[in-house]
Amino acid sequence: MSRSTFNRVIDSLEVIYHKSGTTLIKEGFEIKAQVRAESVLIQQVSGESFVGKDYEKLNPGEYYFIPRGAEITIRYGRGPYTDMGPDGLLTLEDQERFLQPVSLKDKIPANGCVIRYVDFSMLIHNAISIFLLLGIPAFKIERNDSINDVLKRMLIEEDTSQLGKNMILGAYGKELSILISRLFFDRPEFKSKVEKLDYLLDRRLINIINYVQENLGGELTNSKISAVAFVSKDYVGQFFKAMTQLNLQDYIEQRRLEKAYQMLRSSNDNIQEIAQRLGFKDPAYFSRRFKKHFNVVAKDVRRSDPTIL
């Protein structure tokens, strides 16, 4: 893929900022084989953590980028480590036991394990996760002044209540996403994965994605979708899979589940009403699919503010 083509893909990105912060690890713990629903960038500020199946040491100033859909294993702080499995710290009790939020005004302990993080999503055409599509694994990033500058500005803004705070954080999130995109674009080991992005500029695919996104609560049959893509109804499913490696109806369900997750985080609407509004006629089926997709039950999305760890 040429740099100019990659620029066109970057121009189509929608970046959704979720949150950022600084955390002191009070007690060592480990997460194994977790798959995240959102992307997270972690910076080791002090102390040490160990990342990946080989437990590579993450030194102060270094980063670990965990793309959405990537399976991760990580040890925070010093052992002995409590194994939290793939779920991580789901309950408030676990979060209070292992984590202590650190503000910009607090003095960072020299010997303690302190990390900074930012949690965000990167969507192509406001629909497809670029990292999930490419299958980019979690990877380590060496010290990087540009990323460090954006992260610091983000944390300063997060700590304020100024007018336009969300807009500024969103802009910082996009800047950070572009810097990370440059890194994986230039890595030789990701070249074959990046080349998959060429087809995402196909107008027929864009029409399908936009139509699905705008009609998540409606009837999304192959017949209706084929009409906007100018592809026959007998071929539209094959076309979509050839372009994205995803089954069309599976993709539609995925988008509905992700929209449900966003609505659960941002509204007080009844869970069953949200499910029905997004085309899930059977609440039990919705619950099963939600748990399978996000590894958390829908009601727990609201019970607490899920930690990124």
For position 49, what pLDDT does the model report?
95
Per-residue model confidence as pLDDT tens digits over 220-254? 999 999 999 888 989 999 998 887 778 899 989 98
**Is there a contact between 8 and 201 (Cβ–Cβ < 8 Å)?**
yes
**Is there a contact between 265 and 271 (Cβ–Cβ < 8 Å)?**
no
Residues of CATH 1.10.10.60 domain(s) within the chain? 202-303
pTM: 0.75
Q: DSSP secondary structure string, 116-172?
A: EEEEEEEEETTTEEHHHHHTPPPEEE---HHHHHHHHHHHHHHT---TTHHHHHHHH
Among 251, 252, 212, CA closest to 228: 212
Q: Give the Cα separation of 64 and 43 in Å (integer).
A: 7
CATH class of 202-303: mainly alpha
Per-residue model confidence as pLDDT tens digits over 43-76? 999 999 999 989 999 999 999 999 988 888 999 9
The secondary structure of residue 107, as a DSSP letter, is P
Residues of CATH 2.60.120 domain(s) within the chain? 3-193
Per-residue model confidence as pLDDT tens digits over 255-268? 899 889 888 877 78
Residue spans of alpha helices (H) in the chain: 3-11, 92-98, 130-134, 145-158, 165-186, 191-194, 203-214, 222-229, 236-244, 248-266, 271-277, 283-294, 298-303
CA quadruple 17, 18, 24, 26: dihedral sign: negative
Per-residue model confidence as pLDDT tens digits over 142-194? 999 999 999 999 999 998 888 999 899 999 999 999 999 888 888 888 888 78
| Residue 215: pLDDT over 80 | yes
For position 37, what pLDDT does the model report?
74
Q: Give the Cα separation of 230 and 226 in Å (integer).
A: 6
Name the token pair of 237: 């499913």
pLDDT top residue among 10 and 286: 286
* CATH value of 3-193 in 2.60.120, 1.10.10, 3.90.580, 3.30.2170: 2.60.120
For position 266, what pLDDT does the model report?
74
**Is there a contact between 79 and 106 (Cβ–Cβ < 8 Å)?**
no
